[in-house]
Amino acid sequence: DQVLHIVPETFQQVQHLQHLCGTLLLDLWKPLLPEDIWAGEDLHIRVPAPLVQEVKDSLDQHMISYKVLIPDVQELVDQSMPRERSGHRQVPEGYVYTQYHPMEEIYQWMTQIQKSNSELVTQHYLGKTIENRTMYYLQISQPSDKTKKIIWMDCGIHAREWISPAFCQWFVKEILQNYKSDPKISRILQNLDLYVLPVLNIDGYIYSWEKERLWRKNRSPHMNGTCYGTDLNRNFNSSWGSIGVSYNCSSEIFCGSGPESEPETRAVAQFIKRKKSDILCYLTIHSYGQYILTPYGSTTKPPSNSEELMHVAEKAAAALMGKYGTSYEVGSTSSILYNNSGSSRDWAHMIGIPFSYTFELRDKGTHGFVLPPDQIQPTCEETM
Partner 1 sequence: AAMELPPSSYPASRAASLVAGYACYRRGGPGRGLALRAVRRAAIQDIDDVGHKYHLELVLEDMLDKDSTVNCTAEVLYHLGNKNIAPDVQFTIEGELKNTDEADNVFYKRIKSLEKELVAENIPDSHGNVSPEMEPIRLLAWVASGYVIWQNSTENTNFRLAQIKHVKQVKRSDEYLEFDYMILLHEMVSQEIIPWQMTVLWHPQHGVQVTQDSRQPKHASE
User: In terms of CB distance, is 179 or 328 closer to partner 1?
Assistant: 328
Among 331, 350, 354, 378, binds partner 1 (CB under 8 A): 331
The answer to whether residues 320 and 194 touch, using CB atoms and an 8 Å cutoff, is no
Minimum separation from the CB atom of position 303 to partner 1 (A): 18
Taking the least distance from each CB to partner 1, the nearer of 8 and 241 is 241
How many residues bind partner 1 (CB under 8 A)? The answer is 33
Q: Give least dist CB 161 to partner 1, A.
A: 11
- Kindly tell me which of 16 and 234 has the beta carbon lying closer to partner 1: 234
Q: How far is the CB of 93 from partner 1 (least distance, A)?
A: 23
Number of C-beta neighbours around residue 250 at 10 A: 12
Planar angle of CA 84, 89, 92, nearest 5 degrees:
110
Q: Is-contact 2 66, C-beta < 8 A?
A: no
Question: By C-beta, is 43 or 245 nearer to partner 1?
Answer: 245
Amino acid present at 380: C
186 binds partner 1 (CB under 8 A): no
Strands (E), 188-290: 192-197, 221-222, 227-228, 279-287
Q: Does 252 bind partner 1 (CB under 8 A)?
A: yes
Q: What is the DSSP track for 292-353?
A: EEES-SS-SSPPTTHHHHHHHHHHHHHHHHHHH----EEEEHHHHT----S-HHHHHHHTT-
Among 149, 213, 274, 315, binds partner 1 (CB under 8 A): 213
Near partner 1 by CB under 8 A, which window of 45-53, 182-190, 274-282, 367-375?
Answer: 367-375
Q: How open is the CA angle 318-359-89, to the nearest 5 degrees? A: 110
User: Considering Cα of 156, then 202, then 369, then 105, what sign does the dihedral take?
Assistant: positive
Question: Which among 260, 360, 381, 382 is annotated as catalytic?
Answer: 360
- Could you confirm whether 360 is annotated as catalytic? yes
Find the part of the chain contacting partner 1 (CB under 8 A) among 38-46, 138-146, 194-202, 362-370.
362-370
Smallest distance from partner 1 to CB 311, Å? 16
How far apart are alpha carbons 263 and 171 in whole angstroms? 26
Nearer to partner 1, 121 or 309 (CB): 309
Residues 97-136 that bind partner 1 (CB under 8 A): 99-100
Report in angstroms how near the CB of residue 326 gets to partner 1 at its nearest: 10
259-318: contacts with partner 1 (CB under 8 A): none
Residue from the set 253, 268, 279, 348 that interacts with partner 1 by CB under 8 A: 253
* 29 vs 100, beta carbon nearer partner 1: 100
Instruction: Count the Cβ atoms, other than its own, within 10 Å of residue 272.
Output: 21
Provide, rounded to whole angstroms, the least separation between the CB of residue 336 and partner 1: 5
| Identified binder of partner 1 from the candidate list 31, 302, 354, 373, rule CB under 8 A | 373
Dist CA 157 CA 165 (whole Å): 9
CB < 8 Å & 24+ apart, contacts of 101-110: 101/165, 101/166, 101/169, 102/206, 102/209, 103/133, 103/199, 103/202, 103/205, 103/206, 103/209, 106/165, 106/169, 106/198, 106/199, 107/136, 109/169, 110/136, 110/138, 110/198
Q: Where on the chain is the footprint of partner 1 (CB under 8 A)?
A: 79, 99-100, 209, 212-214, 216, 231, 246, 250-253, 327, 329-331, 335-338, 364-373, 375
Catalytic residues: 360
